[in-house]
Structure 1
C-alpha cells in the first residue's frame, strides 16, 4: 500500500515541486478565526506559508476549486471548511469573495465553525499522542466497513466468505433491520443463515437485531455492543494506479494541507470518503488511517458513518448530525489529551 502511494507521489513530483522543511511543531499561537458572521470575519493569516513550497497561491486556489467540483456532498462538508482554514494558514485566502463562495451554505459553515473551535482547542498541542489511536489503526475492520459501504453500486461484490463474528464495544451497527431476536445466540444463527447479506448483530433495549449489509454503517455509541459479521469480500475495486485514483491536483493539495494541524485530519477524512465513493479503496484506507491518527479513531468512524448515511438517503440532503458529531468527538479528543 505504501509503495503504491509513494509511486503516485513520484508521478506528480515534476508537477508539484516541493521541498519538505523540517517539522518544528510550529502550531499557530494566536488563532484569529471566530464563528462570527462572514462580514465581520478577521482575515489574519497564521504563518504556514512554507507548507506550499514552490506552489503559487494562484495555482493552489485553482487546484482546490477544480478538485471541489469533483466531490460528492458527503466529502464537500468536510473538505470545504478544511480547505478554507488551510488556504488561510498558508496565506492564500486573502479575497473575501472566495471565502464567501466556499462557505456559502449553512451546513458547511457550521462544520467550519466547529473546525475553528477544534483548532483553538488544539493550539497548545504540539503533537498528538498516538498511543491512543495506534491500536485502533491496526484494527481497521470498522473503518473499512464504513468505507466499503460507500462503494458505488456499479462495483458489486463478487463473492464473500464469512467466518464468524467479531464483538465490538461502544459501537452501534445501524441499517435495515432484518429481524429482532431475544438472544444474541439466536440473532447470530439467523445472521449466519442469511450469509453475507447480513452485516451483523446490534443490541438495543434488550433486543438483538440482525442488520443488512447493504446500506449499513457503524457509529460510536457508549454502552452499546455489536457483533460484526466478518466476511472476506472480493470486490471489483479499482486499482490504486487506475486513472480515477490518481489526481495530480489532489496530491499537490494533500502535500500542502498535511502540515496544518486540524486541517490535515479533516482533509484526510474527507478525501477518504471521496476515494471510497470512487472505488479506490486502498487510497481511501490510507487516508482514513492518517485521519484517525490525527483526530482519534471514533471521530473518523463517526464521520465516515455519517457520510454513509448521507449517501443512503440520496444526494442533496442536509449534512447529517453524525458528521458534526465526528468533529465534536475530535474536539473532545484534543481536550482529553491536554488533561
Structure 2
C-alpha cells in the first residue's frame, strides 16, 4: 500500500517537476516604417544566452541546452519551433538584422530590415561622389587588436592558427588606415602574448576613437560582438564602476556596428554577418567605439591572401562608413 501511495505521489508531481525545467517565452511582433520588430520576452537565464543568426531568408534564435515553451501573442511573422531549443522565423525578403536586449522585463529584440527600406538606409550612409568631407574628422586614431598571440594559439586547423591569421589581417588593415588621414596602432605587431589589461590600457592611452579586436570562430559568417553595459547598478556604485569606458561610448559603438554590418554585407554577402551581445568582456573598459569581430572558420574560408585582403578592405570600408554616420 505504501509503495502505491509513493508511486501516485511521483506521478502527480511529474508535471510540476517538468514545468520547473521549462522557460516560457512570450512572442510578439510589430511593423515600423523601416523594419519589422520581433520581441521575445522571458527569463534572462534562457534569453540571455540566445544566439541570433541569419540563414538565407530565415532567422534562427537558438538557446542551447534550454527547454522552452512559446506563448505567441501578437505575432505577424511566420515561425516554427525547430528542435528543442531553436525558433525559426520566416519574415520574407529581407536584408539585415539588428539585435539587442532590454531589461525589466528581459527582452531579446530583433529588428528585421526589408530590402527596399534597408537599401534606402544604405544610400543615406554611403557618401555620394560629390559629398563634402567633414571638416573635423571623427576618427583620428584606430587601435586594432589581433586576438591571442604567443602561447595562445586560438583555433588551429590544418596547420593554420588563428593568432597568425588575425595578425596578418590586422597588419593589412593597419596599412590601409595609415595611408589616409587617421593613424592606426596594433596591440601586438608580432607573435607575442599580450594580456587583456595591456590591450585595454594601450587603447585608452592612445585615446583611440575606434577599437577593433579580431578573432576567428567556428561558423561560416562574421559575427560582430557588441559590449553590454549593465543598467542595474545603483547610482552610488555606478561612478566607481563605469565612470569611464563604454557607458560614455556605447552610442558610438552602436554606430560602428551599424557601419561594419553594412560594409560586410556589401562586400562579402547579405548572409555573411550577424550581431550578438558580449557581456563581461574587456570591451566594457574601452573608452572608444569598440567591438569584437569574429571571422569565419578556417575550414570554411581557407584564409588565402586574397580572402585576407577582402576582409581587411571590408573593415576599412566599415570605418569609412562609420566616419560618415558619426559626422551627422
> TM-score when scaled to structure 2?
0.27
Give the number of the structure whose alpha-carbon radius of gyration is greater.
Answer: 2
Identify which of structures 1 and 2 has the higher relative contact order when contacts are C-alpha pairs closer than 8 Å and 6+ apart: 1
Which structure's residues are more often strand, by fraction? 2
Which structure's residues are more often helix, by fraction? 1
> TM-score when scaled to structure 1?
0.26
